[in-house]
Structures are given as C-alpha cells and as structure tokens.
Structure 1
Amino acid sequence: MRYAQGGGLTDAQRTARERVRLDAVARFEAGDRNQVIAATLRVSERSVEWWRRQWREGGAADVASKGSPGRPRLSDAQVARMERELERGPLAHGWADQWWTLARVKKLIGRLFHISYTVEGTWRLLKRYGWSWQQPARREIERDDDAVELWKKEVWPQVRAPRRPAMVGSSSRTRPASR
C-alpha cells in the first residue's frame, strides 16, 4: 500500500491493524475457516491465508507486524551528521570535483554509518529531509556575457542573411483570397 508524501498510518491506526492480526490468531486457535475470519474481520482471504501460514510456522509472534519497511534506518543524530558532512562538500571526502551525486552520497552513508542504501533509497532519504535535486548550469569558464550580448546586437544582424520581402501569396501558409 502506498501513501502520499508524509502520509501513512497513525499510531492509533497501526494499533488497530495489529489488533486485527491478534483477533485472527485467536480465531485460528478456535479452528475458524479462512473465509469466515476474512468476512468477520473485513480483510482479504489472502491476508488471512498469509497470517495462518505465519502462525503455523512460528506462532502468534510471527503474525505480529514487523513495522513499515520504508522507515528511515538512520537516526536523527545520524541524519544531522550526514547533513554536516554533505555541507563540507565532496572535496573534503576525496572526490575531485564539487558534485554530489546519489552514488557518492550512498557511498558516504556507507562509510559513515556502515549502512547500505540503494541509489533510489538514497534519493528518498534526501528528499524526506528536504534536500532537492539540482543541476548546475553548464557554462564555459571563459564566457563573457557582455561580449555575447554585444555580438548579438551588432555582429549577428550583419551576418544573418536579409529576409526576402514578402509578396502576396508567396508563403505556403497563406491562401489566395477566395472571390
């Protein structure tokens, strides 16, 4: 199940969902069928089948929720440290230029905290804490904006071929007036 940015279940909703799982365990022990349990608890039969399998293999403890897999694995202190290190820049961490790429941030997290993220997971983590994607403007180092503007105003009009004068009916877009 996917939730909107910042969404998900509240603590009360998570507790209610956990209560449903525990009710299912009680019904397994009572010998109820999956169809009856699903209808009574208003869940899918597939969920009941899954819970029953977990219950058979490991008991009631295995049916309990393991929590959201999408929860951040870095603590707030670790995130604060990561942000400080990102602000120091890539040069401080041994890269030759000033570009933070997702692969580099992923590698930095691995070095600092010995936690492995995917590149996509790294992007989600950064986005969750307010970092945004940015692409630097590509410009030549020697670029002189004033000289470019001067060239556009003075040289380009002389270089550009003069336009032919428009004659009636000369354009393929115009149609002769209907009489």
Structure 2
Amino acid sequence: MTEVWRPRLLTRQQMEERRFAALPFLRDRTLSSTVLARQFGVAPTAIRAWRQRLAQGDSLEATRSTGRPAFLTDEQVAELMDIIRAGPDPQQYDDGRWTTARIRDLIGRKYGVWYDRDWVGKLLVRWGFSWQKAEKRPLEQKTEQIDEWLEAELPVLEKKDRRG
C-alpha cells in the first residue's frame, strides 16, 4: 500500500470535507471504527463520535469557533480610537504623547478593563495605529542657534582638522 501524504494540521473546512467523505461509510455498520479510522486518518474514537452525532440527528458540519469574547464593544473601541487620535490631555500628560501604559490606564479607568501593557500594543496595531518613537532632544534646545553655529563654526573646525 502506498503511503499518502497528509498535512499535520487541517483547516476546519478540510476536516469537515473529510467527515462528509466518510459519511456513506459511517452508515455502513459492517465496517469497523478501526478500519474507517485508518482509511480517513483519524482515531477510532473520532469515527465513533461521528457515528454518535449522526445517530442523534446532528450533522457533520464544522462548528463555528468564536474564540474568547471581546471585553470592549465595537462602540467602545471606536470611542477609544477617537480619544487616541485626539491626543492625550495636556494637563495630565505634558509631553503630549501616548504610551501603552497610559492607554492601558485610560481603558481601565474608562471601561473597567485592565489589559496587559504588551496586549495594549497588539490591540493598537490591530486598530491601525503604528508604533512611534519619540524624538530624543532637550526641550530647551534652540534649533536656530544650532543652525547658526553649524554654518559659522563647523567649516572652521573642518579646515583645522584637515591641516592637523
């Protein structure tokens, strides 16, 4: 017998197709669960479970996997995105930037849901926000004076460097 390649993981739709392919054989009680299990690449307990579902009048269709329910509603997420786009309250955060810790506190205070800071970052990406890094420079830096110095002093220093 030639060995047939089978993927390790099947999608829900592929598993459903396999159950439907086994359907005519499941109704034939002369075939054992072990024989059918080998034929369809499943455990004999799966064949027995499929037969039991059919006996109870259930279908072999794939069930919907909903996952864990979201803690925030769509309306709350939309409101939160508007707040984030508007920027933080300048009286509360004088540097004018959001951090994941600050957004976590906002969500916790406003909606009573306390996410982990790392998860807040993943949520922000899911909601279409991108990670930004604040520019590191002194607040009292005067760019005009720096530009004047670069134009006046830097060429003199570069000439000295070439001579030395």
Q: Give TM class, smaller chain.
A: 0.5 to 0.7
Query: Partners in 2 of 1:93 and 1:143 — Cα distance?
Result: 23
Instruction: Give the counterpart letter for 1:37 in structure 2.
Output: A
Query: Partners in 1 of 2:38 and 2:106 — Cα distance?
Result: 46
Deviation, 1:88, is 4.6
Instruction: Give the counterpart letter for 1:127 in structure 2.
Output: V
User: 2:8: which partner in 1?
Assistant: none
| TM-score, length basis structure 1 | 0.51
| Paired residue secondary structure (1:91) | coil
CA 32–121 in structure 1, closer or farther in 2 if over 3 Å, else same: farther
Aligned length: 131
For residue 144 of structure 2, the aligned residue among 146, 149, 152 is 146
User: 1:56: which partner in 2?
Assistant: none
Is 1:90–1:99's contact at 8 Å kept on the other side of the alignment? yes
RMSD: 4.1
User: 2:124: which partner in 1?
Assistant: 126
| TM-score, length basis structure 2 | 0.55
- 5+ unaligned residues in a row in structure 1: which ranges? 1-12, 53-59, 166-179
Question: Which structure would you say has the larger RCO, counting Cα contacts within 8 Å and 6 or more residues apart?
Answer: 2
Query: Partners in 1 of 2:65 and 2:157 — Cα distance?
Result: 71
Deviation, 1:122, is 1.3
User: 1:37: which partner in 2?
Assistant: 37
User: 2:102: which partner in 1?
Assistant: 104
Deviation, 1:89, is 3.5
Is 2:90–2:96's contact at 8 Å kept on the other side of the alignment? no
| Paired residue secondary structure (1:163) | helix
